[in-house]
């Protein structure tokens, strides 16, 4: 993983494979090295008082994984009941795996690192925080999402939660 | 330095040194025990021997000095005394200290032990000096004879040998290679040469060659990866048979020749012992065990799925295989768990030493009694327990057990007793540490707590003795009047609690002044698997650690035992009011306020509370898994687990849950009050209930308030003579405080029709006379332990009031309950009780 990051920073001629996912109308890409697998809906356990981005916990072959709703993080409306979704299981530098809930999973694309443009400053703060660059394709703009920063964002958002109101009312 | 070698050396030395303290203290108790002395000597000797290979100069010096002293004691059968044992303990400490440094820094820490070494030497001289005279004459005559066989050696060597009383060749052989090598300024080569010469001097020609061969071998061995626990002499023994072909003749004789030496050499014995121990057990990296544990955990879950599938298929044959897999998995899991277990003895073994040292320093004699030291606990938990335990023990010895004079005066045995016991209760171990010392005065703690601003005076007055004692775990509270070397710095007991809670345990304290103090630690057997109560709330399941669960109650909503005070539900349980948290409420699962379902009563030692849930499924053994980074701030979660059907279930941390309800001191006061009422105990202090009506605050002494009810307004019925309430099969008069004050009745539409109202059930206190009335008030605010009658600042003309007082800085009208009772029924006091009751009141009013 560490190597992947350096490779990106070096802006070399290395190619990168990206798993493309759709969230709402937006296409995003995760580096395949960080994606363990893509799973369908699993029975999920809701965790009361958890941060907003946390959808719940799932049991992935005996491992407990925190599922995060990507829509929530990037400020899209909540998913309708019964609306299908996929879960990309990603790994982070910390060693903990997370499930990222996306609307759809597309193909894996091989890209030259140089083809990416730096994140435009005009983008929304959240996007600027999680993006490692954007790639303009024919009919879409693909945002390369930095998984570690994405996870970090869901944790730092804790301050806005109401979890500290823990007294009886 | 070879890291692997060093690592093994450290592990082994630490293990050996762990026992040495106990052995030294045993030796102090029975100085005649030669076997014990040998064992101690061997331990130090092994450490020193290994130092040579690893080139640990400083450690070697310290160990060497200790070894020499021990050797002298051994040889001369010198009876050890307290001073020597203390010195040897100090030496063991120094070694441990050096080993610790080695472990953390990878090299020998720069510590100055020259003073210790000097004292060890001095002691050694003292030991030999006292016994010297007996042998002196013999040595003198032997002096000249002896040296003859050492002619080939230089003067300093001869002198050194003489100084060590190694005069004849037989002496030298008896001392063995290792002791020779240890004599300054002899090198290993010198030692081997001397040994060789000695042998030839006795009667074996040809030993010279052998010894140089041995020397050669030893040198070869040093840098190699030979198991470092073996000492040089042992290596020699093992290696000699492989001596090169041209030396066949010598080699053939060697085994027998060397054999006697081996038997005499001290290291031969521990080597044997160690070998057999090594065959019986091996060291395993704890990380590997953890990994295995996870794998087995997954296997268990896969097994669960398999069993379900097999059952669905209905094939008998498959069923049988399934059952086998099931059983084997279970056993595998169980046994794997046991691999991580260690007897509690591993951490208790250091206790006698701590107690001894403190005792010596403070001039107290303290006996340590241990029960259940073979009880086994998960290694991780044991490690976590070590420091808190040490701290508790120090506290007990330092502050708990009194000085000898004090004990004598109090008619106690002069020797204090510290009792450690461990016993198993379902799924967890309970460790108690009891001392028969002076105990802790709850009042002292309360005063201290008030002084430190931890409690207000009112709070201090209202909390129970047990709750007050638990304050000792509060950061910044230490009752010791003077700070000593061992404890009393005011940090510690809070750390003790934190540490114990970190591994899922709990601790509480109980004490009787003059009789002693008991600390009780409850801790899960293993971190990985715990017994938990599975409950459901709003369709979601949660696990509550069984360890904290005291009992389960089923509570219909219309139960008479519900109370609502300031919005906080309480449940009347055996005469006490139990604060109850609505799980759905604190977890924001639902807005439903109904008080129905089941209560899980959780006991955390210093506080007890209930958790109201919809349903209780029962207890289950679950494997605890950690929660991710998103839940770290939620301290009421202790982890999660996967149930048999594959769903993830959150596990609560009861301490965290408790912090979600503010079981404030006024609630404790309620509990307290109820306790007292129940026991028929009348305190000088009185409880008063505070309520407000139209922005004004009123207080009512609780003595005549039988109950506080929270009822639906429609239960108050209108009749021709006024409002009534059907209460426990009686019809009682209802008065509304607002009506009594002549205020307009509060607008009904302000509150919904369904909103329940507070009703105080007043009675004259005689259960048989069954005279009651109901006083409806607006908002109950608080219950304080406060005798409002005593603090009237301004008396009132109004028969409904006694006067005005100031409570918490707010002017408060104190209600005259008798005035109110008379309003409800003018004939209320038309019997003898009237005078009695009035008298009580007047006394207070004075």
CA dist A67 → A45, A51, A56, B675 (Å):
10, 11, 5, 48
Compute the average pLDDT of residues B433-442. Answer: 88
pLDDT tens track for B141-153: 444 444 555 655 6
pLDDT recorded at residue B841: 36
B647 touches chain A (CB under 8 A): yes
Question: In the prediction, which pLDDT does B56 show?
Answer: 80
pLDDT at B266: 42
**Positive or negative CA dihedral for A107, A113, A115, A120?**
positive
Q: What is the pLDDT of residue B184?
A: 67
Interface of B with A in 101-160 (CB under 8 A): none
Q: What is the pLDDT of residues A124-140, one digit of tens each?
A: 888 888 888 888 888 88
Which of chain A's residues have a Cβ under 8 Å away from the Cβ of B540?
45-46, 48
At residue B394, the 3 state secondary structure works out as helix
Distance of residue A107 Cα from the nearest chain B Cα, in angstroms: 29
- The neighbouring-strand residues paired with B370 are B420
Amino acid B101: pLDDT? 82
What confidence category does residue B652 fall into, taking pLDDT thresholds of 50, 70 and 90?
Answer: very high
pLDDT at B823 over 90: no
pLDDT at A3 over 70: no
C-alpha span between B2 and B594 (Å, rounded): 69
Q: What is the pLDDT of residue B478?
A: 55
pLDDT at B385: 87
Q: What gap in Å lies between CA B808 and CA A63, rounded to an integer? A: 54
ipTM: 0.84
Report pLDDT for B775. 87
CA distance B627 to chain A (A): 8
Strands (E) located in B298-399: 341-343, 366-371, 376-378
Residue in B301, B649, B662 closest to A45 by CB: B649
Residue B426 near residue B439 (C-beta atoms within 8 A) = no
**B191-231 pLDDT, tens per residue?**
666 766 666 565 444 434 444 444 444 444 444 444 444 44
State the Cα–Cα distance between residues B563 and B581, nearest whole angstrom.
13
Chain A, nearest residue to B644 by Cα: A62
Selected residue of A57, A66, A94, A158 to mutate for chain B interface (largest B Cβ count, 10 A): A57
- For residue B589, give the nearest of A48, A54, A59 by CB distance: A48
* Per-chain mean pLDDT for chain B: 73
Task: List pLDDT tens digits, range B296-335.
Answer: 877 876 777 777 778 778 788 888 888 888 788 878 877 8
By the 8 A CB rule, do A169 and B660 touch?
A: no
pLDDT at B382 over 70: yes
Domain architecture of chain A: domains with CATH: 2-158 (2.40.50.180)
Q: How confident is the model at residue B836 (pLDDT cuts 50, 70, 90)?
A: very low
Percent of chain B past pLDDT 90, that is, above it, reads: 5
pLDDT digit string, tens, across residues B447-467: 888 887 777 787 777 777 888
Q: Are B93 and B100 contacting, i.e. CB atoms less than 8 angstroms apart?
A: no
Percent of chain B clearing pLDDT 70 (strictly above): 70
Between vectors from CA B484 to CA B481 and to CA B490, what angle results, nearest 5°? Answer: 65
pLDDT at residue B238 above 50?
Answer: no
Q: Answer whether B720 touches A (CB < 8 Å).
A: no
Calculate the alpha carbon distances from A153 to A55, A72, A123 in Å. Answer: 15, 12, 16
Residues 6+ positions from B370 with CB-CB distance below 8 Å: B348, B351, B419, B420, B421
Give which of B568, B556, B579, B586 is closest to B652, Cα–Cα.
B586
Distance between A93 CA and the closest CA of chain B, angstroms? 13
Indicate whether B406 pLDDT > 50: yes
Q: How much is the pLDDT for B134? A: 46
Highest mean pLDDT among B364-378, B517-531, B674-688: B364-378
A58–B633 C-beta distance less than 8 A: no
Residue B369: band (very low, low, confident or very high) from pLDDT cuts 50, 70, 90: very high
How many contacts does A have with B, using Cβ atoms within 8 A? 85
Q: What is the pLDDT of residues B684-734, one digit of tens each?
A: 456 778 888 877 888 887 777 777 777 888 888 888 878 888 877 778 888
Helix (H, G, I), strand (E, B) or coil at A21: strand
Tell me how far apart the alpha carbons of residues A61 and A78 are, in angstroms, rounded to a whole number. Answer: 28
Q: For residues A40 and B428, which has the higher predicted lDDT (pLDDT)?
A: A40
Taking residues A96-101, report their average pLDDT: 92
**B372 or B789, greater pLDDT:** B372
pLDDT tens-digit series, residues A28-86: 999 998 898 999 888 999 999 999 899 999 988 778 899 999 998 888 888 888 888 99
Q: How confident is the model at residue A22 (pLDDT cuts 50, 70, 90)?
A: very high
Residue B153 pLDDT: 64
Closest CA to B341 of B531, B526, B529, B506: B526
Distance (Å) from the alpha carbon of A53 to chain B's nearest alpha carbon: 9
Residues contacting residue B532 through CB under 8 Å, at least 6 positions apart: B543, B544, B545, B546, B619, B620, B621, B622, B641, B651
pLDDT-based confidence at residue B178 (cuts at 50, 70, 90):
low
| Mutation target vs A (from B329, B580, B630, B644; most A CBs, 10 A cutoff) | B630
Q: What is the rounded average pLDDT of the residues A7-11? A: 47
Confidence tier at A92 by pLDDT (50, 70, 90):
confident
B611 has pLDDT over 70: yes
Each residue of B514-544: pLDDT tens digit? 888 999 998 877 666 778 899 999 889 999 9
Distance between CA atoms of residues B180 and B77, nearest Å: 20
Which residue does chain A place closest to B541, by CA atoms?
A45
Q: Span B470-487, mean pLDDT? A: 59
Rounded to the nearest 5°, which phi and psi values hold at B660?
-80, -25
The reply to whether residue A155 touches residue B588, judged by beta carbons under 8 angstroms, is no
Find out whether B609 and B663 touch, Cβ atoms under 8 Å: yes
Lowest mean pLDDT among B29-33, B52-56, B119-123, B231-235: B231-235
Q: How far is CA B826 from CA B760, B798, B834, B841, in A?
A: 19, 16, 12, 18
- Whether pLDDT at B481 is above 70: no
pLDDT tens-digit profile of B541-600? 999 998 889 888 888 777 777 877 766 788 888 777 788 888 888 888 887 777 788 999
* The most confident of A20-29, B184-193, B204-213, B660-669, by mean pLDDT: A20-29
Average pLDDT over every residue of B106-119: 81
The pLDDT score that the predictor gives to residue B43 is 82
How confident is residue A98, by pLDDT bands cut at 50, 70 and 90?
very high
């Amino acid at each position: 993983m560490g190597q992947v990051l350096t490779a990106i920073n070096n802006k070399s001629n290395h190619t990168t494979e990206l798993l493309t996912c759709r969230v709402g109308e937006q296409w995003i890409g995760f580096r395949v090295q960080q994606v363990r697998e893509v799973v369908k809906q699993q029975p999920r356990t809701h965790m009361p008082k958890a941060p907003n981005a946390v959808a719940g916990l799932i049991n992935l072959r005996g491992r407990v994984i925190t599922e995060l709703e990507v829509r929530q993080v990037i400020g899209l409306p909540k998913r309708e009941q019964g609306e299908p979704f996929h879960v990309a299981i990603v790994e982070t530098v910390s060693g903990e795996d997370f499930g990222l809930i996306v609307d759809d999973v597309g193909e894996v694309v091989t890209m030259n690192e140089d083809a990416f443009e730096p994140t435009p400053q005009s983008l929304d703060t959240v996007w600027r925080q999680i993006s490692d660059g954007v790639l303009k394709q024919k009919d879409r703009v693909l945002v390369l999402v930095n998984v570690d920063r994405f996870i970090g964002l869901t944790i730092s958002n804790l301050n806005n939660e109401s979890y500290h109101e823990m007294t009886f009312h | 330095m070879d890291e692997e070698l060093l690592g093994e050396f450290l592990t082994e030395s630490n293990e050996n040194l762990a026992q040495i303290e106990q052995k030294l203290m045993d030796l102090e108790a029975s100085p005649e025990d030669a076997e014990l002395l040998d064992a101690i000597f061997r331990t130090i000797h092994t450490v020193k021997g290994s130092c040579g290979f690893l080139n640990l100069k400083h450690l070697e010096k310290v160990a060497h000095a200790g070894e020499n002293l021990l050797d002298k004691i051994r040889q001369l059968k010198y009876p050890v005394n307290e001073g020597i044992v203390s010195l040897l303990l100090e030496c063991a400490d120094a070694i441990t200290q050096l080993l610790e440094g080695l472990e953390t820094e990878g090299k020998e820490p720069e510590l100055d032990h020259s003073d210790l070494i000097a004292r060890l030497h001095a002691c050694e001289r003292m030991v030999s000096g006292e016994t010297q005279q007996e042998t002196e004459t013999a040595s003198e005559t032997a002096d000249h004879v002896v040296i003859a066989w050492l002619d080939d050696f230089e003067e300093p060597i001869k002198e050194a040998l003489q100084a060590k009383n190694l005069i004849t060749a037989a002496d030298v052989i008896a001392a063995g290679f290792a002791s020779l090598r240890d004599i300054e300024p002899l090198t290993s080569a010198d030692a081997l040469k001397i040994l060789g010469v000695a042998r030839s001097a006795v009667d074996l020609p040809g030993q010279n060659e052998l010894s140089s061969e041995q020397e050669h071998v030893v040198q070869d061995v040093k840098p190699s990866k030979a198991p470092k626990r073996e000492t040089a002499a042992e290596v020699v023994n093992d290696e000699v048979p492989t001596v090169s072909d041209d030396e066949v003749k010598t080699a053939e004789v060697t085994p027998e020749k060397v054999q006697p030496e081996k038997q005499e050499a001290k290291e031969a014995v521990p080597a044997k012992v160690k070998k057999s121990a090594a065959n019986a057990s091996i060291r395993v990296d704890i990380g590997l065990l953890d990994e295995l544990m996870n794998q087995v955990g997954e296997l268990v879950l896969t097994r669960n799925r398999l069993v379900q599938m097999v059952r669905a298929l209905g094939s008998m044959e498959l069923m049988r295989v399934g059952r086998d897999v099931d059983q084997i998995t279970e056993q595998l899991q169980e046994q794997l768990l046991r691999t991580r277990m260690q007897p509690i003895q591993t951490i208790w073994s250091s206790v006698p030493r701590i107690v001894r040292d403190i005792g010596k320093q403070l001039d107290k004699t303290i006996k340590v009694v241990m029960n259940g030291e073979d009880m086994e606990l998960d290694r991780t938990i044991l490690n976590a327990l070590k420091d808190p335990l040490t701290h508790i023990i120090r506290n007990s010895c330092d502050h708990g057990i009194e000085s000898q004079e004090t004990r004598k005066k109090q008619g106690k045995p002069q020797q204090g007793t510290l009792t450690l016991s461990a016993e198993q209760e379902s799924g967890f171990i309970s460790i108690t540490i009891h001392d028969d010392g002076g105990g802790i005065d709850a009042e002292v703690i309360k005063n201290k707590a008030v002084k430190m601003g931890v409690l207000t005076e009112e709070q201090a007055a209202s909390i129970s003795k047990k709750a007050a004692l638990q304050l000792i775990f509060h950061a910044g509270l230490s009752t010791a009047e003077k700070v000593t070397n061992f404890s009393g710095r005011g940090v510690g007991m809070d750390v003790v609690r934190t540490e114990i809670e970190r591994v899922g345990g709990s601790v509480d304290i109980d004490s009787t002044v003059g009789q002693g103090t008991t600390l009780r630690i409850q801790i899960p057997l293993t971190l990985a698997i715990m017994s938990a109560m599975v409950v459901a709330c709003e369709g979601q399941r949660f696990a509550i650690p069984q360890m904290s669960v005291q009992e389960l109650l089923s509570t219909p909503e219309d139960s008479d035992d519900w109370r609502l005070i300031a919005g906080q539900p309480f449940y009347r349980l055996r005469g006490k009011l139990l604060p109850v948290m609505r799980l759905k409420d604190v977890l924001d699962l639902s807005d439903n306020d109904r008080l129905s379902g089941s209560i899980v009563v959780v006991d955390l030692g210093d506080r007890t509370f209930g958790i109201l849930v919809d349903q209780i499924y029962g207890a289950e053994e679950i494997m605890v898994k950690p929660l991710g980074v998103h839940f770290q701030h939620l301290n009421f979660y202790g982890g999660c687990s996967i149930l048999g059907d594959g769903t993830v279930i959150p596990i609560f941390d009861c301490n965290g849950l408790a912090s979600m309800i503010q079981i404030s001191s006024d609630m404790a006061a309620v509990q307290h009050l109820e306790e007292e009422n129940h026991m028929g105990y009348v305190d000088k202090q009185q409880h008063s209930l505070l309520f407000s009506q139209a922005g004004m605050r009123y207080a009512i002494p609780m003595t005549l308030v039988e109950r506080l009810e929270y009822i639906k307004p429609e239960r108050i019925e209108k009749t021709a003579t006024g409002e009534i309430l059907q209460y426990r099969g009686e019809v009682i008069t209802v008065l509304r405080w607002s009506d009594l004050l002549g205020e307009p009745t509060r607008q009904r539409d302000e509150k919904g029709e369904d909103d329940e109202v507070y009703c105080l059930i007043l009675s004259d206190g005689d259960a048989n006379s069954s005279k009651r009335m109901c006083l409806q008030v607006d908002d109950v605010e608080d219950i304080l332990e406060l005798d409002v009658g005593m603090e009237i600042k301004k008396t009132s003309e109004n028969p409904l009031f006694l006067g005005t007082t100031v409570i918490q800085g707010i002017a408060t009208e104190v209600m005259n309950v008798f005035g109110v009772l008379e309003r409800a029924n003018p004939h209320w006091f038309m019997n003898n009780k009237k005078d009695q009751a009035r008298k009580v009141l007047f006394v207070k009013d004075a």
